[in-house]
Each structure stands twice: as C-alpha cells, then as structure tokens.
Amino acid sequence: MRDTTYIHPFDLANDFGRFKGGYLFKEDNEENGFLLNSENGCSIILSSVLCEQVLTQNVDEDLAFKMIQRGMIENEACMKCQVTERVQPTFFIFDLTQACNFRCIYCFRHLEDKVHTISDDNLDAITNYIINYCLKYKITDFCVQPWGGEPLIAFDKIKRMDDMFKQAGLYPLISIETNASLITEELAEECAARNIRLGVSIDGFEAVQNMHRPLMSGKPSFDKMMRGVRILAKNEKLKNFGVVSVLTSKSFPYLEEIIEFLATEVKVPCFKLNLVKDNPVMKDAGLCLTSEQVEAAEKLLLAKLVELNRRGFPITELNVHEKLMNLLVRSKTNICTSRGCMGGTKMIAFDQDGLIYPCDVTDYKEESIGSVHDKQDLISLVTESKKSNRDFFNRKHIEECDTCPFWFYCKGGCTTAIKYKKGCVEGVDNQECIANKTLYPALIDLIISDPDAIYPLTRGRVQLKKSR
C-alpha cells in the first residue's frame, strides 16, 4: 500500500491558476508518484522530480500546462471552457418480462411462474416516448436494454420495438443480458442481422453455475447455457459477447477457478464480476460477502487478470477496465461508477405500466418521476425531480466520504443498492466502498510499478511506458 498524502489547494506562479487539491500516492525511494485529484477525479502520473514540484508548490510552466490539460488547475480560461453535466439520458432500460426459466438463488426480482410480459400497447407507448424524445433533441447515439426475467422469452417484443425504431429512422444499440438457454442458430442470426448485442450471465464452471443458477425445475442449467454460448461463439458478429458473473459467499472460494474458466474455456475478452448485494427478495442473506472477502476478491481478481494476460489469454474485467479509464483518461464512460450515480441524468428506466424511473428500481413505485402516458417532456421531468426534495436525486452529505481520494468516482455508491439494504437512499454502499478502497490503490500500484500490464486491462486503449 502506498503512502497517501493530501496536497492542499495552492496558487501557481505566473497566474497559471489554482491547483484544486488532491492526493499524492507514493513510496519513499520510488521513482514515480501518482497524483489523484479528489474533487473532479482527474489524475496524472509524475516522476519523483515532478512530485517534488507539487510538494513544494513550485510548479514549472511545463507541468502547469499538463495539469491544466488534466483539469487539475482552475483558471479563468478553464472556467470559460468548463462543461457542466447536462440532463440528457441516452441509456434506456425497460422491464420487458417477469417470466424466467431460471431460478437464480440471488435474484432480486419478483419472478412469476406465469408469463407476466409487457403488453403491446405499453411497449409501443414506451418506444414512441423514447422515439419522440430522441427526435426532439436530435439524439442518434443511444442504447436500449430490455430486461427481465429472461428477455429472450419475449423476443417477439424486442423485434417489435426494433422495427419501430427503424421505421422512425433511429438505430439504437439494443443490448440484452440473457441466460443463453434459449439461443438457437436462427435467433443468433436474427440478432446479428438486427445488430442486437447479447451478453450472457455465467457464474462459473459447471458446479458453480448449477449451484447459483438452476433451471426453474431445479435441474442443472450448465449444459443449456453452454449450448447457447457455443452458438454465439460460431457467429462472427456475436462471438465477442460479454459475460456477467455474480460472486456470492458460496462461490467465493472458487473465484480463481471461475476466472480461469471464463478465460481459457469460454474465452471471453471481457467479463463483469458483480458482488451479490442484499435485496428484499433474496431468501439467503448469507450469500453476501464479508468485508474481508470483498477485499480479498478484488485483490485476487486483479492478480489473476495480470497472470492470464501474461499467459496469452487476453481478458479484462469491466470494473477493472472502467476504474483504470477513470484514473488514466477520465473518459466518464460508466453511468454508475465514473462520477457517481447518473440515474435520471444519463439513464432512464420504464416499468411494464409505462412509469418512468431514474434507474432500474422498478420494484419501488415511489421512485417513479412520471409516466409515458402523460407525454411530459423527459428532460423537464428529470430536471424538476432534481430540483425537488426527491431523496434519489438529493442524497444528504456523507461525512465519511470527505477524506476519501476516490469519492468523485462513486459518491457513496449505488443508490439502488443502498435502498435495497437500508430501505432508504441515505448513507453509503459499504460493499462498493470497500471494493473501491481496495481496487483503486491496487491499480495505482500497478500503473506505477508495472505499466506494461495496463494495456490489455484497458482493452488496448491505453499504453504506458516506464518513466526514466
């Protein structure tokens, strides 16, 4: 663990502006340091010489310019160019169906044996609402994610929605998370033709998959899932599918084997490891990881990814990838973990009745901000909700986050997760907090000590060189 030193704000010479304040991560007798700005999440890699400039508040012109570029210094010119976060959702989730042929032991949905799928009328109303919004604000680059349940049970609804978008001259990315058991050659071909992206939920090798994700009948699901995976792997347009894996206390002992399986047998280029979160539906509260297990899981995950890439198995994990991009590029790509919850601002969810939510909190009707049937302007709805005293948008000040160098990225964690756990949206997502405080320092250490390891973990987007 590197020493963390807070650098107080200070004015630079020659009217370059004011350094906003931040955290310096370094070790004694080390050639490099890492400066992280805690106010706006911007960072910069520094040599020991440049670290000294910051520590002594004697920043030269070259370093000042670099810090200005990274958004770490405020000056008059920067303030004029500063861009505020606009309310403009471009990611839409809607509750397609509550029917599912699996019975995952940690599921947070109220799944039903009977088919409970959105009506055509409500589907059309939601789709038209999105179409009208996108046309009004000239939005062409957006994503739609139908979810459930198992979305492919209602694939006809997805095709109906896709046809409506195309008829309106819009071509969104349609992204579906599936258990893969219903994938056929024909369905894969149609998804490829329609440019529908598929991701698969796989919790691990056979024993883990069957333990976590049995069929509705209670029988094993592994073979059905793998049959669908093999079909996707044969399709040129779909073969680079992503994977979502859920880690519980039951699967935690097998984490290294799970990652090995995904890399060497499923051969996925990228997966997302979700730590199971407490929720009101999950019957076994013992599935959640302890604080010690969360910390151990994050450390093992990073070490295993580095090892696999060195062995010739190119793979990364989405949380690792996004946190690296947060540190190195400030791309602000993730609506949940790049600058705190962006529910409402960049993301909108719809339930089967057409009610509108800031996030996929469709089991909490009190969080609805409106209805598509009222045909109110979406941006106006979100803006007015933000101005009101809505808890979801206006969480109270969190004292324990004041001195955290990674606060900007999470801002207390997932609002929905907090509500699942506590019944309200106040406080901190403790699990996310531990994960961030473990993984960010580990990534900083890797950036400084082993920069060659970074390239594959960013999916080839960032290549670092050792400073001399």
The pLDDT, as a whole number, for residue 256 is: 98
Instruction: Enter the pTM of the model.
Output: 0.90
Minimum mean pLDDT range among 79-93, 117-131, 161-175, 328-342? 79-93
Cα gap 308→22, rounded to integer Å: 34
Averaged over 147-152, what is the pLDDT?
A: 92
Answer yes or no: are the C-beta atoms of 140 and 134 closer than 8 Å: yes
Residue 45, both tokens: 């890699």
CB atoms within 10 A of CB 408: 20
Describe the chain by its helix, strand, coil percentages, rounded to 5: 40, 15, 40
Q: 333 pLDDT exceeds 80?
A: no
Buried b (16+ CB within 10 A) or exposed e, 53-89: bbeeeebeeebbeebbeebbbbeeeeeeeeeeeebeb
Q: 389 pLDDT exceeds 70?
A: no
Cα gap 219→216, rounded to integer Å: 7
The pLDDT, as a whole number, for residue 421 is: 78
Q: Which of 238, 263, 240 is nearest to 316 (CA)?
A: 263
Q: Express each pLDDT in 260-295 by its tens digit.
A: 999 999 999 999 999 998 877 776 768 999 999 999
Q: What is the DSSP string of 207-266?
A: HHHHHHS-BTTS---HHHHHHHHHHHHH-TTTTT-EEEEEE-TTTGGGHHHHHHHIIIII
The pLDDT, as a whole number, for residue 454 is: 95
Q: Express each pLDDT in 308-332 by its tens digit.
A: 999 999 999 999 999 999 998 876 6
Averaged over 134-142, what is the pLDDT?
A: 97
Averaged over 422-436, what is the pLDDT?
A: 87
Averaged over 234-246, what is the pLDDT?
A: 95
Minimum mean pLDDT range among 6-10, 212-216, 398-402? 398-402
Q: Express each pLDDT in 57-113 by its tens digit.
A: 999 999 998 888 888 888 765 554 444 568 999 999 999 998 999 999 998 876 655
Q: Which of 117, 184, 125, 119 is nearest to 151 (CA)?
A: 117
DSSP summary character for residue 102: B
In the chain, what are the domain boundaries?
3-81
Q: 114 pLDDT exceeds 60?
A: no
Cα gap 197→71, rounded to integer Å: 35
The pLDDT, as a whole number, for residue 372 is: 97
Averaged over 181-187, what is the pLDDT?
A: 97
The pLDDT, as a whole number, for residue 192 is: 97
The pLDDT, as a whole number, for residue 331 is: 66
Work out the pLDDT band at 181, boundaries 50, 70, 90: very high
Task: Name the more confident of 44 and 30.
Answer: 44
Q: Express each pLDDT in 224-239 by its tens digit.
A: 999 999 999 999 999 9
Percent of the chain scoring above 90 in pLDDT: 62
Answer yes or no: are the C-beta atoms of 407 and 380 closer than 8 Å: no
Residue given tokens 């999916």 in the structure block: 459
The pLDDT, as a whole number, for residue 83 is: 46
End-to-end CA gap in the chain: 23
The pLDDT, as a whole number, for residue 362 is: 64
Those residues with Cβ within 8 angstroms of residue 251's Cβ, 6 or more apart along the chain or in another chain: 203, 204, 208, 211, 212, 258
Cα gap 297→279, rounded to integer Å: 21
Q: Which residues pair with 143 in a beta bridge?
A: 91, 173
